Amino acid sequence: MSVRGIRAAVSVTAAAAVLAGAAACSNPDADDDSGGSGGDGATAVIGVSTEPDTLSPLLGYGKDGNSKLFDGLLARTADMELRPALARALPEITDDGTTYTYKLRDGVTFSDGEPFTAADVVFTYETILDPGTNNPSKGDLEAVDSVEAEGDDTVVFRLKYPYAAFAERTVLPIAPEHAAGKGDVNTGPFNTEPIGTGPYVLDNWRKGEKLTFSANPGYWGGKPKVAKLTMAVIADDDIRATRLRSGDLDGAILPPNLAKTFAEDDDKQTVAATTFDHRAVTLPTDNPVTGDLAIRRALDVAVDRDAMVDKLLEGRGKAAYGPVPTDSEWFAQGTERPYDTARAEKILDDAGWRAGDGGIREKDGQRASFTLYYPSGDKLRQEHALAFAGDAKKVGIEAKVESGTWEVIEPRMGEDAVLAGGGSPADPDFDLYPMLNSELAGQGFNNMASYENPDVDTALAEGRESGDKAERKRAYDKVQQELTENPGYIFLTHIDHIYVVADTWRGLTTQVEPHEHGFGSGPWWNVESWQPAP
Amino acid sequence: MTGLPLAPMARMAGRRLLYAVPVLLAVTFGVFAIAAASPFDPVKAYAGTAGFSASQEALDQLRDSLGADDPFVTRWWDWLTGVVTGDLGESTSMRQPVADVIGERIGWTVLLCAVAFAVAIVAGTLLGVLAARRRGGLLDRAVTSVAYALEAAPPFWLGLLAVWLFALQLDALPAGGLTDTGTDVVSFGQVAEHVLLPASVLAVSQMPWFVLYVRQGVGDALDEDPVRGARSRGLAERTVLLGHALRSGLLPVLTLIGTRVPELITGALLIETVFSWPGIAAATVEAATSVDFPLLAALTVLATAAVLLGNLLSDLLYGLADPRVGFDG
């Protein structure tokens, strides 16, 4: 090969490049049917911000229901009531709430044609609980002592202690033993090629780009009208909004400021979901400032929650006084705390926190100053942190706002405040217990403030174990009242989640949504029951 | 292609291959050491958002099962012995065997890089020759100053700019992905349309080096005796330029091909992220932040191998183009 040879090679690649360019120019737009047209064989293309790590329920996919590919024993309605799914009826609860018996639906098959049986249920739960299974959410099933099949159509769960919220956990998707049992549970092919009983089957998953589903013709609940469903993974809010505007997407989750830009569009509807998704400032017990009762109570009334809802959330949210939002049936009426800086100042004055240098209060040589971290890149938490610090400053308390990655923040959670977020709506136990129980102080991200209150601990145990709803309500009312007396966290807002969807679909609903809102949330929580507009 | 010095070329390739073994060993060891020293916690990364509500018991079990507490030397040795027996290990971040992760992605990365590299070399050479033909002229000054500006521009910034201009403002080309959102079929037309923007951006980010090298080489050659001789023999300017000046001016470019490979790979990583291109870039970022040792090591070996191959290729080409250099390196 000589230089002439090289030149020949260069001209070949040049020709190839030109051809590729020409092909791109002549690319026909024939398959440009992404707009969600009504009628049979309708398609829906949804823009989401994140994708799951795995599609295997054994590793935690879809644990809160609406997984599209799978069904749980139970499911939730739009009003968050439990309803039977793979079970024929709600469970029968015996032995003081420690035995749950589920009768299974007949004639259900997995998408590969194999029948669904009790063995699959036992397999799913036992595999998740197996120490060798890398499922970070297995703590959700901590109460389970044993799972047994009685015949082909009955499954019995025996619990270690009476756990009133257990039925809510059984929305967990069921994986087929014959398919998921093959290969390594942690890295096997089932993670990317799932088989379930759900309304959709997976066609294709190009990680980082999109997942495509098609309707499961043999679905026991009836074949979905939306025959083809695409979840496009677009992390950037602006790009998602643009692709929605260009018609590339039929629906997307958007922050309030971008959703607002679609308000005038006739062919788009905006759907807001109420949530349990709270933002709160942790007040670590071991920090001499944030652990001080007067400081806590003063901050609790010094923050202007309504202003945060108006300014930071554009009105799309609610003031939060605890993990339970004010419109929940579990909210303790009368625990709202009005914005009252005069009262905050009086609390501080009475406790001996006097104005010192630069308007920051002091007591016994201790400045009323602490550091507040927010996870870097999270604009909403940054805004909350700055608003909180501004309000605190007005009553003479300094919150030094800093950002960091979770690697930076985590070791400091014991002494420094963090702008935290969380919330799961199905049962008050899910948020309150890990957040406030003193035994869980400093364990992972549980009880980040190391909150310690024996009365709360007792009430949390009562709420967890009692099978009587009125009794549980009393217990959780007590917890929320204690939070007004000794606020270990300053709850700021509950955030609505905003979705913009093409007008081709009617009767869209949303569930009450958790902090983590992936595919299972949004108006597409029940895309299998969507009806095209006539 | 007769008379190709195959034997010396093969000897050179063999020597380089032997030389690559210790390099790869050192590089993978370094990757394990750096990953172990990084502040990222593999358990937290694995658990992801579920980690925020996970129980301590579940996290401890995960730590144990992922072997996150083992010293990195142990993990490196386990990995190495696995690789020798043909087992690349399993990626914890992707929940898949490493071989699968790489297998389903590498093709798209190679396509992106190949197209971009070809465009960069061809267009760079062309512009360089044009600029060299009349140094100091309007075209030369325009090309050179744009090349210097582009040399300083980070590829991801160029990528975002291109998305903004071509996808958002002009709506001429798709903003990302391998195919249109609504379709699943990976057809030639779809891929061609989608590769155009990322490959062009990557090419543009690589082109300045080729432009400037060619301009310098050809420009210098134009001042040398052989060219003066050719001109005085009355050869056409075109023949002088392409047959004489370009031929000797291209030599430094051959070296450049080898040395640009690392830059091309890092550029591709950034471009893939910007354009949601389903190549190995997203996997690399994920592997790094999740401290996913097996995947990270495999990807690093790939990148190192690409660099070594690039060097070998450019040395071979150089030896062919200029026999005085030979194949002794």
The answer to whether B253 and B129 are in contact (CB under 8 A) is: no
pLDDT of residue A7: 41
pLDDT of residue B321: 76
User: Cα A434 vs. chain centroid, distance in angstroms?
Assistant: 16
Q: How many CB pairs under 8 A join A and B?
A: 187
CA distance B242 to B218: 9
Q: What is the dihedral of CA B43, B48, B52, B54, to 10 degrees?
A: -60
Q: Compute how many other C-beta atoms are within 10 angstroms of the C-beta atom of residue B14.
A: 10
The answer to whether B289 and B8 are in contact (CB under 8 A) is: no
Q: How far is A510 from chain B (nearest CA, A)?
A: 22
CB-nearest to A24 from B163, B196, B320 is B196
Q: A129 phi and psi, to 5 degrees? A: -80, -15
What does each C-alpha distance from B74 to A117, A219, A364, B89 come to in angstroms?
43, 49, 53, 14
pLDDT of residue A456: 96
CA distance B142 to B124: 14
Is residue A91's pLDDT more than 80? yes
**To probe the interface with A, which of B4, B38, B60, B95 has the most A CB atoms within 10 Å?**
B95
B29 at interface of A, judged by CB pairs closer than 8 A:
no
pLDDT one-digit tens code per residue, A168-183: 999 999 999 999 988 8
pLDDT of residue B40: 81
pLDDT of residue A20: 39
The answer to whether A525 and A511 are in contact (CB under 8 A) is: yes
Residues of chain B below pLDDT 70: 1-3, 329
CA distance A146 to A130: 12
pLDDT of residue A122: 97
| Residue B240 or A533, more confident | B240
Strand stretches in A10-162, DSSP E: 42-48, 74-76, 82-84, 92-94, 99-103, 144-149, 154-159
CA distance A427 to B48: 23
Per the listing, tokens 């009476």 go with: A162
pLDDT of residue B62: 86
pLDDT of residue B184: 75
Per the listing, tokens 């799913």 go with: A124
| Residue B199 or A18, more confident | B199
CA distance B19 to B21: 6
pLDDT one-digit tens code per residue, A445-500: 999 999 999 999 999 999 999 888 999 999 999 999 999 999 999 999 999 999 99
The answer to whether B206 and B117 are in contact (CB under 8 A) is: yes
B289 at interface of A, judged by CB pairs closer than 8 A:
no
What number is the average pLDDT over the span A377-383? 92
CA distance A166 to A171: 10
| Residue A33 or A192, more confident | A192
Least confident interval from A113-117, A317-321, A418-422, B320-324: B320-324
Helix (H) / strand (E) element for A179: namely helix A177-180
The answer to whether A504 and A36 are in contact (CB under 8 A) is: yes
CA distance B106 to B39: 28
pLDDT category of residue A254 using cuts at 50, 70 and 90? very high
ipTM score assigned to the predicted complex: 0.75
Nearest CA in chain B to A236: B274
CA distance A246 to A262: 12
CA distance A493 to B25: 53
Is residue A369's pLDDT more than 90? yes
CA distance A321 to A300: 9
Nearest CA in chain A to B194: A24
Helix (H) / strand (E) element for A505: namely strand A505-506
Q: Which residues contact B214 (CB under 8 A, 6 or more apart)?
A: B124, B125, B127, B128, B129, B132, B249, B250, B253
Per the listing, tokens 């025996």 go with: A158
The residue type of A230 is T
Q: Which two tokens stand for residue A9?
A: 């090679």
The answer to whether A84 and A105 are in contact (CB under 8 A) is: yes
pLDDT of residue B175: 77
pLDDT category of residue A5 using cuts at 50, 70 and 90? very low
Nearest CA in chain A to B63: A134
Per the listing, tokens 């064989």 go with: A41
CA distance A189 to A123: 17
Q: Which residues contact A504 (CB under 8 A, 6 or more apart)?
A: A35, A36, A37, A38, A42, A250, A532, A533
B193 at interface of A, judged by CB pairs closer than 8 A:
yes
**What 3-state class would DSSP assign to A330?**
coil
The answer to whether B60 and B46 are in contact (CB under 8 A) is: no
pLDDT category of residue A8 using cuts at 50, 70 and 90? very low
Is residue A34's pLDDT more than 50? no
pLDDT one-digit tens code per residue, A62-81: 999 999 999 999 999 999 99
B169 at interface of A, judged by CB pairs closer than 8 A:
no
Is residue A26's pLDDT more than 50? no
pLDDT of residue A153: 93
Q: What is the mean pLDDT of chain A?
A: 89
pLDDT of residue A39: 44
What number is the average pLDDT over the span A333-350? 95
Task: Report the share of chain A in percent with pLDDT over 90.
Answer: 75
The answer to whether A24 and B192 are in contact (CB under 8 A) is: yes
pLDDT of residue B2: 53
Give the dihedral sign, CA A284/A289/A290/A292.
Answer: positive
pLDDT of residue B219: 86
pLDDT category of residue A6 using cuts at 50, 70 and 90? very low
pLDDT of residue B250: 80
Is residue A17's pLDDT more than 90? no
CB-nearest to A406 from B44, B93, B177 is B44
Residues of B in contact with A137 (CB under 8 A): 50, 53-54, 58
The answer to whether A200 and A528 are in contact (CB under 8 A) is: yes
Burial category of A473 from C-beta neighbours within 10 Å (exposed 0-12, middle 13-18, buried 19 and up): middle
pLDDT category of residue A384 using cuts at 50, 70 and 90? very high
Contact B122 A136 (CB under 8 A): no
Contact B278 A54 (CB under 8 A): no
Least confident interval from A110-119, A125-134, A480-489, B173-182: B173-182
